[in-house]
Amino acid sequence: MTSIPATMTAIGIASPGGPEMLVPQERPVPQPGVGEILVKVAAAGVNRPDVIQRKGLYPPPPGVTDIPGLEIAGTVVACGPGVGRWRDGDEVTALVSGGGYAQYCIAHESHALPIPRGLTAAESAAVPETFLTVWHNVFERGGLRAGETLLVHGGSSGIGTVAIQLAKAFGARVVTTAGSAEKCDACRRLGADVAVNYRTEDFVPLTKGATGGAGADVILDMVGGDYIERNYEAAAVEGRIVQIAFQGSPRANVDFRRIMLKRLHHTGSTLRSRSVADKAAIALAVERNAWPLIAAGTVRPVMDKIFPYRNAADAHVRMESGVHIGKIVLEM
Ligand SMILES: NC(=O)c1ccc[n+]([C@@H]2O[C@H](COP(=O)([O-])OP(=O)(O)OC[C@H]3O[C@@H](n4cnc5c(N)ncnc54)[C@H](OP(=O)(O)O)[C@@H]3O)[C@@H](O)[C@H]2O)c1
């Protein structure tokens, strides 16, 4: 039996604001409830939504801890009533609704998966948020199929690096956008067929050019604003556009006639607010479809930098600087 202390160190948000608001705090170790496991955290992924939460613009859902952190890897140290899959000592990676920036964190048992074969704890912690988001939005919502073209904006982001690799692994062609020549090179090394430096080039004609004029079948967009109308232009007939964020504006002045003329579908989703059952179903699909690819070395999380968790503020500075390629991770 692992002895579990009463208190732990977590990284709290002192008050909404800059990275310096992320400070180590003494907190009670949470108790797993029905269907939940307590994980001794080895590493936690850093995601853009954590930055937005730190600024006070993305409050945790009701009943969820205010400690940031949406994904973890570590060891199960206690199981709540009704847990069937896991036992103390199991090594898991898990999607969590919050609380990842801490020595101990609660996960629903159905949102935990075994550490993928061949990955370190830090690499494993970089998997759940991006793989579940990409799987659900590109494949389940966007319905990407082999032989189709995916346009993914922000190809060098945590999300983008996974979208490129998974789309290629499933036989799609990939066009992507990124903000520098270095980032475009990184996207090509991951398999992107075309990488567009959005600061100097227009992705609409380049997407058309890469598809014989047809356009992209699926577009994964995290930008919004004027990209919405340009996505409609870059989309193929019957194209599916999936919105996962608005790094630009959530408002746009759009000519919607293209939706009729091209029979487009524009949808979107956000993972954190989904029901326990929804997230469990996505996690299961990811385990079935992506875990074998990770074990085979076909797909891997792209690691940018690992920080000690007490330096979470530095990790957020790096993410906000936009220099990173792939995932930033905290190690306990
Ligand atoms: N809906 C969901 O369920 C869900 C789940 C997880 C994450 N997300 C969202 O997905 C996005 C990526 O998350 P992440 O954690 O991977 O963050 P990240 O690594 O910081 O990614 C942000 C990316 O956005 C790109 N970007 C910004 N402006 C752009 C533009 N005008 N054109 C093309 N790309 C642009 C940046 O590219 P450059 O640096 O090259 O400018 C960067 O690669 C975030 O907005 C996040 O909130 C949504």
pLDDT tens digits, one per residue of 160-169: 999 999 999 9
**pLDDT value of position 273:** 87
Instruction: Please count the other Cβ atoms lying within 10 Å of the Cβ belonging to residue 237.
Output: 11
Instruction: Please count the other Cβ atoms lying within 10 Å of the Cβ belonging to residue 173.
Output: 20
- Nearest CA residue ID for atom 38, ligand 1: 179
CB-based burial of residue 109 (10 Å sphere; 0-12 exposed, 13-18 middle, 19+ buried)? buried
Q: How far is the CA of 157 from the centre of ligand 1 (A)?
A: 6
Residues 197-219: tens digit of each pLDDT: 999 999 999 999 999 999 999 99
Pocket of ligand 1 (CB under 6 A): 47-49, 129, 133, 153-154, 156-160, 177-179, 183, 198, 222-223, 244-245, 247, 269-271, 319, 322
Judged by average pLDDT, the poorest of 6-10, 62-66, 111-115, 327-331 is 62-66
Q: How far apart are the C-alpha atoms of 146 and 140, rounded to whole Å?
A: 14
Instruction: Please count the other Cβ atoms lying within 10 Å of the Cβ belonging to residue 252.
Output: 14
What is the DSSP-derived secondary structure letter of residue 266? E
Residues 258-316: tens digit of each pLDDT: 999 999 999 999 998 899 999 999 999 999 999 999 999 999 999 999 999 999 999 99
Q: How far is the CA of 243 from the centre of ligand 1 (A)?
A: 11
Average pLDDT over residues 161-182: 98
Q: How far is the CA of 34 from the centre of ligand 1 (A)?
A: 34
Which ligand 1 atom is at minimum distance from the Cα of 198? 32
- pLDDT surpasses 70 at 84: yes
Q: How far apart are the C-alpha atoms of 271 and 283, rounded to whole Å?
A: 11
Average pLDDT over residues 228-245: 98
Of 161, 134, 153, the residue nearest 227 (C-alpha): 153
- Nearest CA residue ID for atom 9, ligand 1: 245
Q: How far apart are the C-alpha atoms of 136 and 126, rounded to whole Å?
A: 17
Q: How far apart are the C-alpha atoms of 187 and 180, rounded to whole Å?
A: 11
Q: How far is the CA of 84 from the centre of ligand 1 (A)?
A: 36
Assign 2 a pLDDT band (cuts: 50, 70, 90). Answer: low
Q: How far is the CA of 331 from the centre of ligand 1 (A)?
A: 22
Element (H, E) at 149: strand 149-152
Q: How far is the CA of 104 from the centre of ligand 1 (A)?
A: 28
Average pLDDT over residues 139-153: 98
Instruction: Please count the other Cβ atoms lying within 10 Å of the Cβ belonging to residue 31.
Output: 12
Assign 182 a pLDDT band (cuts: 50, 70, 90). Answer: very high
222, 269, 303, 323, best to mutate for ligand 1 pocket (most atoms within 8 Å of CB): 222
pTM of the full predicted structure?
0.97
Which ligand 1 atom is at minimum distance from the Cα of 52? 47
Alpha-helix residue ranges (DSSP H) falling in 224-275: 227-234, 257-262
CB-based burial of residue 64 (10 Å sphere; 0-12 exposed, 13-18 middle, 19+ buried)? middle
- pLDDT surpasses 60 at 19: yes
Q: How far is the CA of 175 from the centre of ligand 1 (A)?
A: 16
- Nearest CA residue ID for atom 21, ligand 1: 157
Tokens of 292: 């074998």
**pLDDT value of position 304:** 98
Q: How far apart are the C-alpha atoms of 224 and 205, rounded to whole Å?
A: 18
Average pLDDT over residues 239-253: 96
Average pLDDT, the chain: 97
What is the DSSP-derived secondary structure letter of residue 17? S
Q: How far apart are the C-alpha atoms of 219 and 241, rounded to whole Å?
A: 5
- pLDDT surpasses 70 at 1: no
Alpha-helix residue ranges (DSSP H) falling in 102-180: 121-125, 128-134, 158-169
Q: How far apart are the C-alpha atoms of 242 and 255, rounded to whole Å?
A: 18
41, 100 in Cβ contact below 8 A?
Answer: yes
The torsion angles phi and psi of 90, rounded to 5 degrees, stand at -70, 140
- pLDDT surpasses 60 at 17: yes
Q: How far apart are the C-alpha atoms of 263 and 243, rounded to whole Å?
A: 17
